[in-house]
């Protein structure tokens, strides 16, 4: 829940990704790639 809230992702969407029901695509995939490499930069941009 904390991760979802910090990065503006719905909890249900995050759960689907974690279970493998769906895969992130397009902008969501780009966001996750940036979060993986530069989480603080994303937090600053979203803050």
Q: Can you give the pLDDT at residue 14?
A: 96
Q: What is the pTM of this model?
A: 0.82
* 26-37 helix and 39-46 helix, angle to the nearest 10 degrees: 120
Q: Can you give the pLDDT at residue 22?
A: 96
Can you give the pLDDT of all 47 residues of the chain as single tens digits? 999 999 999 999 999 999 999 999 999 999 999 999 999 999 999 98
User: DSSP character for 8?
Assistant: T
User: DSSP character for 20?
Assistant: T
CATH code of the domain in which 36 resides: 1.10.260.40
Q: Can you give the pLDDT at residue 23?
A: 97
Q: Can you give the pLDDT at residue 44?
A: 95
29: containing domain = 2-46
Q: Can you give the pLDDT at residue 30?
A: 95
Domain count, the chain: 1
- Helix, strand, coil percent content, the chain, rounded in steps of 5: 70, 0, 30
């Amino acid at each position: 829940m904390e991760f979802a809230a910090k990065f503006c992702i719905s909890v249900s969407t995050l759960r689907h990704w974690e279970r493998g029901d769906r895969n992130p695509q397009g902008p969501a995939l780009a966001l996750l790639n940036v979060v993986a490499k530069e989480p603080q930069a994303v937090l600053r941009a979203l803050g």
